[in-house]
Amino acid sequence: MSELIDRTPGRHPPGARDRILDAAYELFSRNGIQAVGIDAVISRSGVARQTLYRHFASKQDLVLAFLERREEQWTRRWLQDEVRRRAGDPASALLAIFDVFDEWFGRPDFEGCSFINVMLEHPEPADPVRRASVSYLAGIRGFVEGLAREAGIAEARNFARQWHILMKGSIVAAEEGDREAARRAQRIGRLLLVDAGALEV
């Protein structure tokens, strides 16, 4: 979601590094990594080529910085904050993930999960970009595991993996065109919570 970039009124105009990263964020999140070349980032950011390479030695370095910003802005400042804001207890927070997703899936600028997309674009297990994507996905799962523990679920780690499968599956289904995917996943999620003893029938 490119509009998550902080452009708070009164903030100083971004420096060259921020302009490059802002441009990369918008282009990579919407179009993927492979489809966007350095020239497109240079054109979008309005910086000289040597300026870009002064801040980012390679495209890989720029991609890693993009993923780090995505984790900060998408995972923490949007998903986690919005889920916590909507729910008063851990079980409700888990279900609220899919309420947040439902609104996201309905947006005209819905772009899918950058971590999933980048991971699939980089299949080599040792690739630093793939490893970063896997790590950030694990961070999301860690958030879910924390909620599961707060909800009193005994097998919180296993539960988090199940829940994360629902999350990732709903995103992929939405990318296929199923805009009801989040609601379908939430209904399955309720069954998981009941089975785990965290929600009454």
CATH number of the domain that 27 lies in?
Answer: 1.10.10.60
Instruction: Please check whether residues 19 and 106 belong to one and the same domain.
Output: no
Per the structure, the complete domain to which residue 108 belongs is given by: 66-201
Contact 59, 52 (CB under 8 A): no
Contacts 24+ apart (CB under 8 A), 105-111: 105/170, 105/174, 105/179, 105/181, 105/182, 106/179, 107/1, 109/1, 109/2, 109/3, 109/30, 110/174, 111/1, 111/29, 111/30
Instruction: Please check whether residues 96 and 129 belong to one and the same domain.
Output: yes
Instruction: Please check whether residues 138 and 191 belong to one and the same domain.
Output: yes
Q: Distance from CA of residue 62 to its chain's centroid?
A: 17
Range 130-138 average pLDDT: 98
Per-residue pLDDT of 18-59, as tens digits, reads: 999 999 999 999 999 999 999 999 999 999 999 999 999 999
Instruction: Please check whether residues 94 and 34 belong to one and the same domain.
Output: no
Confidence of residue 7 (pLDDT cuts 50, 70, 90): very low
Number of structural domains, the chain? 2
Instruction: Please check whether residues 32 and 79 belong to one and the same domain.
Output: no
pLDDT at 6: 47
Record the pTM. Answer: 0.90
Range 189-200 average pLDDT: 95
Instruction: Please check whether residues 106 and 72 belong to one and the same domain.
Output: yes
pLDDT at 200: 87
Instruction: Please check whether residues 52 and 70 belong to one and the same domain.
Output: no
Is 109 a domain residue?
yes
Instruction: Please check whether residues 46 and 141 belong to one and the same domain.
Output: no
Cα–Cα distance measured from residue 15 to residue 13, given in angstroms and rounded to the nearest whole number: 7
Say which residues have a Cβ less than 8 Å from residue 16's Cβ, sequence separation at least 6.
45, 47, 51, 55
Is 41 a domain residue?
yes
- Does residue 139 have a pLDDT over 50? yes
pLDDT at 201: 73
At 84, which CATH number?
A: 1.10.357.10
Per-residue pLDDT of 60-110, as tens digits, reads: 999 999 999 999 999 999 999 999 999 989 999 999 999 999 999 999 999
Is 1 a domain residue?
no
